[in-house]
Chain A
Amino acid sequence: MGALIAANDLVKAFPASRSLRDMMRGQRPVLRAVNGVSLEVAAGRALGIVGESGCGKTTTARLLLRLEEATSGSVLFEGQNVSALRGAALLPFRSRVQLVFQNPFDALNPRFTIRRSLAEPLRNFGVPPDQQEARIREAMGRVRLDPPEAYLDRHPHELSGGQLQRVVLARALVTHPRAIIADEPVSMLDVSVRAGVLNVLRRARDELQLAAIYISHDLALIRYVCEAVAVMYLGRIVESGPTAEVIAAPAHPYTRALVAAVPVPRVDQDRGDLPIRGGLPDQLNQPSGCAFRDRCPLAFARCAEEAPPLRAIAPGRHAACHLA
């Protein structure tokens, strides 16, 4: 089974704001927001990317979508390297790989009707006007906004948050994409409506055999929509594998802490100390060797000397830890 969308050793470095000391030394520090990320997703599959804020999840998504130029590395779509495409050559890629916005409340133009918001991407990608209405209705059906005519002439403020997020998803689906990338697709929604949007996302992926990438800090949500997960820490993937296996038996100490920290809606649960120390280090002053070592309860001498590579530890599973 080949990958529909893949990333190869993606790096994104931003110039960091310089301190006085750096300027006197004539140094120009760079912040590697994404530091060698490789991943792949096949049609009909979903990959979740989890990690704390600032770990590089959103930058990875923007690189995959070509909304941001990578410093190095490449993005492959249907086997073709799209990293070098520019301008009009990028248009087919843009229509086939769609972003689902995080905040439904400002993803749509408040003055446009829902129909107009859905027609716009079709016009941009050159779908003839006489085919547009059918495509719009099909997309509304996919996200279970039935019947479409009950919604199409309304404005965003006349819909609930859950309905709006479905419209945002319909707008992503209307161009008949092969892949969707969703950054925190339900974090702005109430718990009671989240479930409905997640179900719709999952069904759309199955019915259309989409490759899906979900970005979230919520492992419980990822567990529900993605069979595979990649855990990021300071710009790198530190563990990946089938979601259920990674949650049941995390191989990287950071994943172990992340799993332990997720609250579960049950009274009987483990309330012991988290197996992690301190907070995220300053991105510009990461420790030598393993970037996680100053927070790791298991760190030993080798961790300061040698950065552990991401390596296979079991079929389908990878981890970047000397002890994994």
Chain B
Amino acid sequence: MDALLDVRDLAVHYRTAAGPVRAVDGASFTVPAAGIVGLVGESGCGKSTLGRALMGVLPRAASIAAGSAVFEGRDLVTLAPAERRKLLWRRLAFVPQTAMNALDPVQRLSAQMQEVLVERGGLSRAAAGTRAAALFAMVGLEAGRLRDWPHQFSGGMRQRASIALALALNPALLIADEPVTALDVIVQRQILDVMRDLQARLGLAMILVTHDVAVVAYACDRVVVMYAGRVVESGPVRAVLEAPLHPYTMGLMNAFPDLERAGGELVPIEGAPPSLLNPPGGCRFAARCPFAEARCAQDPALVEHAPDHQVACWRAPEAPALRPLASEAATWAR
């Protein structure tokens, strides 16, 4: 597979008084040239840190400690900052976790569009005006609303505007961090439909960061499951969600209330993710995993278990037998 983005063993650490927080600690996955990749995992597992590292917009306290991220043939980790900046907006674009952060509250939306299109994209002011209107139309906003201030927009409209802004210079990869998390279901669905529609029309690649497997099932073509700073499973959405190989993915699917599934108990994953300050050796999920064995004290590598389906679990070969057990609450109870 010729990947647009190939992330290998990426590690991102935050410097803190108590020592380095290993927010991303050896993450590997690929993103094909077209389609939507869901990056899913619990709060604090490193999703936003990973997205920001790829965009080169990490906070000052964070730095890339190891690994590579080859995008269109060039390693973003070693690329000179000036070269990297040239990629921003043009090839790689970002919608941060809260849409309000993407928009400048003291500038009209038209001015923010102009800034990107004229200063970064080199368009004339007239051409920029036409393009801004077209971008607004693409995300389902009226061109007349370009004159508005961000605070005049509802949450859903702000999210649409941030997506329009990110797509201004036709990037090859859009990273959207929790684009629908704070929104009501109807608005959430409308935004996901905008993203799916834009992906299909423009043929670009998107990374959709979320903690919601239902959002992944609805909108994504591929999924990368993260746990405690690592990728534990990845592959096509159907393969991963319908026949998960990692016990954490199995647990996530069973913990999720399903509108169409009849009653029954939801199955919680007992315990909490480990601290990333001093992560345990061996499998990071072992403390919560009902299937842990002695060998799980050794680190399971992320391997291609089936074509295009990667997993980091010693017991992945037994997954078909573990899946029915994982759907019973008694298995997870301690």
Contact = CB atoms under 8 A, between A and B. Distances in A.
Interface stretch (A6-14, A176-184, A271-279): A271-279
B214 A264 contact: yes
Contact of A199 (B215, B259, B268): B268
Interface in B86-121: none
Contact of A247 (B188, B238, B259): B259
Nearest to B236: A267
A52 B184 contact: yes
Contacts of A52: 184-187
Interface residues of A, number: 41
Contacts of A269: 217-218
A196 interface: yes
A21 interface: no
Contacts of A274: 186, 189-190
Nearest to A196: B268
A265 B215 CA distance: 7
Interface in A280-320: 280
Given A199-B265, A279-B156, A264 B255 contact: no
A235 B256 CA distance: 29
Contacts of A221: 257
Task: Give the secondary structure class of B's interface.
Answer: helix
A160 interface: yes
B213 A191 contact: yes
B185 A267 contact: no
A191 B212 contact: yes
A265 to B, nearest CB: 4
B225 interface: no
A173 to B, nearest CB: 19
In the A-B complex, the 7 residue pairs with the closest CB atoms: A196-B268, A195-B266, A263-B214, A195-B268, A192-B269, A160-B272, A220-B257
Interface of B: 42-43, 154, 156-157, 184-190, 192-193, 196, 211-218, 237-238, 241-242, 251-260, 262-263, 265-272, 329
Interface of A: 52-53, 160-162, 190-196, 198-199, 217-221, 223-224, 244, 247, 257-267, 269, 271, 273-274, 276, 279-280
